[in-house]
Amino acid sequence: MDNSPLSAAARLIAQRNIGHYDQHAASYFEGTKDHDVLQNIDALLRAIAAPAPLRILDFGCGPGRDLQTLTKLGHEAIGLEGSAEAARIARSVSGCEVWVQDFFALDLPPAYFDGVFANAVLFHIPLEELPRVLGDLWNCLKPHGVLFSSNPRGQNQAQWYGERFGFYHDLEGWRTWMTQAHFVEIEHYYRPAGLPLEQQPWLASVWKKQERAE
C-alpha cells in the first residue's frame, strides 16, 4: 500500500466518482444486470494456470453482477467497491464478501488472489494515481496471477462526464502503463465482438504478473 498523500485533484475525483455511484447504485444495477460480459470473464479465467476453484478479486464490482457469475462458475469471488451503497447491493445479490475501499487508498492482502477482474473501472483512475493502483493490484496477485481490464478507449485524454472522471487510453498508451507496472500482455481485443473497429468502444486486455528483479 502506497501511503503517499493524494493531490487535491485526485481527492476530488475520488469524492465525485464515489458520490455518483452511491447515488445511482440501484439504477445502475437495474441498467446493467443483464449485460453480457462472459467474453471478458472467460478471457481472465482461461489465462490463469492455477487449478480451480480460483480466488478472484472483482475490482470495482459495482452492484455485484459479475460476482454472481464468478460464484456460479464455482470460484471464490471477493468484491471491492468504493461506493458503500453499491457494495451493499452486491453483498445482497451475490452473497459474496465485498470490501469497501477508496481505490486511491487500497489495503489488499499480498499474494492472495489468482486473478483480478477489473471490468469498466480502471479508466476512472487519473494518470497520477495509476502507478499506485496498478502496484497495489500487482502486489495482491499470487505469482503468475492474471489481471483482466476493460476500458472505454480513446486518444489518451482525460474527461469529466457529469460527476464521473474518466481517462481514455489507446492500446499503446495502456500497454505502456501496464508494462511499467510489471505486467506482461497475454492478449487484447475490442468489444462488442463481431462489429467493425469503429463500433467497438471497449479495449479489453489480459495481463500476467511479472516478478520484479531483485
The full set of domain ranges for the chain reads 8-209
Who contacts 181 (Cβ-Cβ below 8 Å, separation ≥6)? 131, 134, 135, 138
Q: What is the pLDDT of residue 3?
A: 65
Beta strands in 108-163 (DSSP E): 113-119, 141-152, 157-161
Whether residue 201 is preceded by a cis peptide bond, meaning omega within 30 degrees of 0, is no
Alpha carbons 166 and 13: distance in angstroms, whole number: 9
Radius of gyration in angstroms for the set of CA atoms belonging to the chain, rounded to a whole number: 16
**Contact status, residue 136 vs residue 111, Cβ threshold 8 Å:** no
Q: What is the pLDDT of residue 11?
A: 87
- Block means of pLDDT (10 residues each) for the chain, 214 residues, are 76 91 88 90 98 98 97 98 96 98 96 98 96 98 98 96 94 98 98 95 98 73
Alpha carbons 30 and 81: distance in angstroms, whole number: 17
Greatest C-alpha distance within the chain: 47
Spell out the alpha helix ranges (H) of the chain.
Answer: 8-32, 38-47, 65-72, 84-94, 130-140, 171-180
Domain 8-209, CATH homologous superfamily name and number: Vaccinia Virus protein VP39 (3.40.50.150)
Q: What is the pLDDT of residue 80?
A: 98
Alpha carbons 163 and 7: distance in angstroms, whole number: 18
Alpha carbons 194 and 190: distance in angstroms, whole number: 9
